[in-house]
C-alpha cells in the first residue's frame, strides 16, 4: 500500500484550492454574463413617464379637485331646524305664568337661479382649465423625456468615439515606444504620444461620467419604475423634419398654452359675474310654530338680505382686475410663443444645414485626411505630430457632428413643446 507524504498532501491541497478558485471564478463570470441591464425603447420610456411622472399626477389631482367643485356649486344648502322652550310671565294684572310654551321652526336658504348658474359656470370653467393643464403637462413632460432620451444616445455615441480613440492611442503609443526603444524614432514622439494617450483617457472618463449624468436625469423624469442600471435602445430620427415656418405660425393660435389661458379668461369672467350676482344672493324660506299656554301660532316667512352696507364692491373690483390680468397674460404669452418659435426654428435651420454639411463632405474629408496621414506615418513619410493632428481633427469633426444631430432634434422638440402637440412621432 502506498502512503502519501507531507509534500504530496500539500500538493493535493494546493491543487484542490486552485480548482475551487477556478470554479468560483467561472461561476462568478457566468453570473456576470447572465445579468444584463434592462433596455428600454423611446416608446417604453415615454409610456412609463406618462404613468409615473409626479407633475402629471399633480395635474390630475387638480382636475379631480376642480370636478369636485362642480358638485359643491350645484349642491343646495342644508336646512336649519330651530327649537326652543321657556317660561312665560304676563305683565298685565291678573295674568298667570306658565312653563308650557315652546316653539320650533325650519329654515331653508335658496339661491336665486342666476346665482346658481353663475356659480356652476365658474366651477365648470375651472374644470376646463385643469383638463388643459393635464394636456399641457403631458406635452411638456413628453418633450423633456424625449430630449433627455436623445441626449443619452448622443452622449453614448460620444463615449464610443472616446473609447475607440483611447484604444487607438494606446496602440499607437506602444508602437512608438517600440520604435523609440530600437532607435528608429526620437524620444519626443513618445512624449507626444503619452500626452495624447493621457488626454484620450481623460476624455473617455469624462464621457462616461456625462453618460451616467444624462441617464440619472432621464430616470429622474420617469420615476422609480426604471432601475438605476438600465440601457436605451434607439437612434436619433434624422429622417424627421418640421413643416414650413408659415405652417407653424398658423398653428400657434391652437397652442395648448394659449387654450389654457383662454379658458382661464372665461373662468375669470364667470367669477366676475358670480360676484355681481352675489350682491343679492337669494332668500331664506322659514316655517315655524309657536305654542303659548292658551295660544298656538303658525308662522310662514321669507328672509331677504338687503345690500345696504356690503354691496360687494371689493370682490367685484378684484374679479374685474383678474379678468384684465388674464387678458394681459394671453397677449404676453402669444408674443412669447411667437418669439420662441421663431428663434427655435432658426436654430433648427442652422442645425439642419450643419448636419447636411457634415454628411455631405466634412465627415468623409476628415476620414480621408486621417487615412492619408496614417498611411504616410506608417511609411515614414510624415511624423507622429501630423498623424496625431489628423486623428484629433477626425475626433473633433465626429463630436461636432453628433452635437449638430442632437441640436437638430432638440429644436424640433422645443417647437413641439411650445405648440403643445407632437411633431416627432414616437415609434417603438
Q: What is the pLDDT of residue 28?
A: 42
- Assess whether pLDDT exceeds 70 at residue 13: no
- Assess whether pLDDT exceeds 70 at residue 31: no
Residues 305-327, mean pLDDT to the nearest whole number: 92
Number of other CB atoms surrounding residue 238 within 10 Å: 12
Would you say residue 9 lies in a domain? no
- Assess whether pLDDT exceeds 70 at residue 304: yes
State how far the Cα of 270 lies from the Cα of 326, in Å rounded to an integer.
Answer: 13
Number of other CB atoms surrounding residue 30 within 10 Å: 10
- Assess whether pLDDT exceeds 60 at residue 35: no
> Strand 39-40 and strand 231-232: pairing?
parallel
98: confidence class by pLDDT, cuts 50, 70, 90 = low
Would you say residue 398 lies in a domain? yes
Number of other CB atoms surrounding residue 409 within 10 Å: 24
- Assess whether pLDDT exceeds 70 at residue 26: no
Mean of pLDDT over the chain: 83
Q: What is the pLDDT of residue 81?
A: 92
- Assess whether pLDDT exceeds 50 at residue 395: yes
Q: What is the pLDDT of residue 193?
A: 79
Q: Which residue range forms the structural domain that includes residue 59? A: 38-78+112-282+334-419
- pLDDT tens track for 233-258: 888 776 667 888 888 888 889 899 99
Closest Cα to residue 203, out of 362, 399, 370, 364?
A: 399
Q: What is the pLDDT of residue 336?
A: 94
21: confidence class by pLDDT, cuts 50, 70, 90 = very low
- Assess whether pLDDT exceeds 90 at residue 325: yes
Going from the C-alpha of 208 to that of each of 23, 233, 298, 384, the distances in angstroms are: 32, 18, 88, 28
pLDDT-wise least confident of 34-38, 130-134, 302-306, 396-400? 34-38
Residues 45-70, mean pLDDT to the nearest whole number: 89
- Assess whether pLDDT exceeds 70 at residue 90: no
Would you say residue 408 lies in a domain? yes
Residues 276-282, mean pLDDT to the nearest whole number: 90
H helical segments located in 53-112? 54-73
The answer to whether residues 200 and 158 touch, using CB atoms and an 8 Å cutoff, is no
Q: What is the pLDDT of residue 197?
A: 84
- Assess whether pLDDT exceeds 50 at residue 113: yes
Q: What is the pLDDT of residue 196?
A: 82
For 142, the grid coordinates are 413628453
Tell me which of 19 and 153 has the higher pLDDT: 153
Residues 394-410, mean pLDDT to the nearest whole number: 88
Q: What is the pLDDT of residue 130?
A: 93
Would you say residue 206 lies in a domain? yes
Q: What is the pLDDT of residue 387?
A: 76
Spell 340-362 as b/e; 16+ CB within 10 A means b.
ebeebbebbeebbebbeebeeeb
Number of other CB atoms surrounding residue 228 within 10 Å: 10
State how far the Cα of 169 lies from the Cα of 148, in Å rounded to an integer.
Answer: 31
Please report which helix (H) or strand (E) contains residue 285, including its range: strand 282-291
> Strand 80-85 and strand 102-111: pairing?
antiparallel
Q: What is the pLDDT of residue 337?
A: 93
Return the CATH number at 160. 1.20.1600.10
Q: What is the pLDDT of residue 340?
A: 93
* Chain centre distance of CA 364: 38
Tell me which of 252 and 6 has the higher pLDDT: 252
Q: CA-based angle 411:395:214, to the nearest 5? A: 45
Three-state DSSP class for 84? strand
Three-state DSSP class for 120? helix
Question: Where does 292-368 show beta strands of DSSP type E?
Answer: 296-303
Would you say residue 102 lies in a domain? no
Q: What is the pLDDT of residue 19?
A: 39
Three-state DSSP class for 83? strand
- Assess whether pLDDT exceeds 70 at residue 11: no
- Assess whether pLDDT exceeds 60 at residue 95: no
Three-state DSSP class for 291? strand
- pLDDT tens track for 350-384: 998 998 898 888 888 888 888 888 788 777 777 77
Q: What is the pLDDT of residue 8?
A: 43
Q: What is the pLDDT of residue 109?
A: 92
- Assess whether pLDDT exceeds 80 at residue 94: no
**Own/partner pairs, 63-69, CB within 8 angstroms, 24+ separation:** 63/127, 63/130, 63/131, 63/133, 63/134, 65/130, 66/123, 66/126, 66/127, 66/129, 66/130, 67/127, 67/130, 69/123, 69/126, 69/127
Closest Cα to residue 299, out of 109, 104, 150, 153?
A: 104
Q: What is the pLDDT of residue 425?
A: 67
How would you class 398 by CB atoms within 10 Å of its CB: exposed for 0-12, middle for 13-18, buried for 19 or more?
A: buried
DSSP structural state of residue 77 = P
In the chain, % of residues over pLDDT 90: 33
H helical segments located in 223-255? 245-251
For 353, the grid coordinates are 444645414
Could you tell me how many residues make up the chain?
Answer: 428
Residues 281-307, mean pLDDT to the nearest whole number: 87
Which residue matches cell numbers 473633433? 396
Residues 45-63, mean pLDDT to the nearest whole number: 88
Would you say residue 303 lies in a domain? no
For 158, the grid coordinates are 460620444
Please report which helix (H) or strand (E) contains residue 314, including its range: helix 313-357
The answer for 280, left when phi > 0, alpha when psi is -120 to 50, beta otherwise, is beta
- Assess whether pLDDT exceeds 90 at residue 272: yes
Would you say residue 290 lies in a domain? no
The answer to whether residues 203 and 165 touch, using CB atoms and an 8 Å cutoff, is yes
Q: What is the pLDDT of residue 259?
A: 92
- pLDDT tens track for 137-194: 988 888 899 999 999 999 999 999 889 888 888 887 887 788 778 877 778 778 887 8
Question: Where does 211-280 show beta strands of DSSP type E?
Answer: 231-232
- Assess whether pLDDT exceeds 50 at residue 232: yes
Number of domain units in the chain: 1
Rg, Å, the chain Cα set? 40
Would you say residue 95 lies in a domain? no
Amino acid at each position: 500500500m502506498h502512503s502519501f507524504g507531507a509534500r504530496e498532501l500539500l500538493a493535493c491541497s494546493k491543487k484542490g484550492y486552485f480548482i475551487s478558485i477556478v470554479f468560483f471564478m467561472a461561476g462568478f463570470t457566468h453570473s456576470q454574463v447572465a445579468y444584463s441591464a434592462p433596455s428600454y425603447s423611446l416608446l417604453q420610456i415615454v409610456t412609463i413617464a406618462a404613468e409615473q411622472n409626479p407633475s402629471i399626477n399633480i395635474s390630475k389631482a387638480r382636475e379631480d379637485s376642480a370636478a369636485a367643485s362642480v358638485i359643491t356649486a350645484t349642491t343646495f344648502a342644508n336646512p336649519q331646524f330651530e327649537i326652543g322652550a321657556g317660561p312665560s310671565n304676563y305683565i298685565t294684572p291678573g295674568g298667570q305664568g306658565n312653563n308650557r310654551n315652546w316653539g320650533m321652526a325650519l329654515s331653508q336658504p335658496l339661491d336665486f337661479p342666476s346665482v346658481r348658474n353663475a356659480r356652476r359656470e365658474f366651477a365648470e370653467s375651472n374644470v376646463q382649465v385643469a383638463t388643459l393643464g393635464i394636456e399641457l403637462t403631458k406635452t411638456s413632460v413628453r418633450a423633456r423625456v424625449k430630449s433627455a432620451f436623445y441626449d443619452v444616445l448622443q452622449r453614448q455615441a460620444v463615449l464610443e468615439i472616446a473609447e475607440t480613440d483611447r484604444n487607438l492611442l494606446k496602440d499607437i503609443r506602444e508602437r512608438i515606444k517600440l520604435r523609440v526603444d530600437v532607435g528608429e524614432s526620437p524620444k519626443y514622439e513618445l512624449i507626444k504620444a503619452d500626452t495624447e494617450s493621457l488626454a484620450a483617457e481623460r476624455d473617455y472618463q469624462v464621457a462616461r461620467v456625462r453618460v451616467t449624468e444624462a441617464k440619472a436625469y432621464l430616470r429622474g423624469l420617469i420615476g422609480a419604475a426604471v432601475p438605476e442600471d438600465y440601457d436605451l435602445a434607439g437612434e436619433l430620427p434624422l429622417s424627421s423634419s418640421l413643416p414650413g415656418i408659415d405652417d407653424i405660425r398658423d398653428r400657434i393660435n391652437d397652442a395648448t398654452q394659449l387654450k389654457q389661458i383662454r379658458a382661464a379668461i372665461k373662468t375669470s369672467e364667470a367669477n366676475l359675474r358670480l360676484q355681481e350676482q352675489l350682491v343679492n344672493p337669494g332668500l331664506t324660506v322659514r316655517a315655524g310654530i309657536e305654542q303659548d299656554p292658551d295660544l298656538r301660532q303658525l308662522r310662514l316667512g321669507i328672509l331677504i338680505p338687503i345690500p345696504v352696507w356690503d354691496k360687494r364692491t371689493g370682490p367685484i373690483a378684484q374679479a374685474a382686475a383678474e379678468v384684465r390680468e388674464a387678458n394681459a397674460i394671453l397677449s404676453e404669452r402669444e408674443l412669447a410663443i411667437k418669439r420662441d418659435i421663431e428663434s427655435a426654428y432658426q436654430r433648427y435651420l442652422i442645425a439642419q444645414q450643419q448636419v447636411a454639411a457634415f454628411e455631405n463632405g466634412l465627415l468623409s474629408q476628415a476620414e480621408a485626411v486621417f487615412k492619408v496621414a496614417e498611411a504616410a506615418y506608417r511609411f515614414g513619410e510624415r511624423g507622429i505630430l501630423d498623424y496625431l493632428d489628423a486623428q484629433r481633427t477626425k475626433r473633433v469633426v465626429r463630436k461636432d457632428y453628433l452635437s449638430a444631430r442632437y441640436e437638430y432634434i432638440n429644436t424640433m422638440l422645443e417647437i413641439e413643446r411650445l405648440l403643445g402637440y407632437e411633431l416627432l412621432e414616437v415609434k417603438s
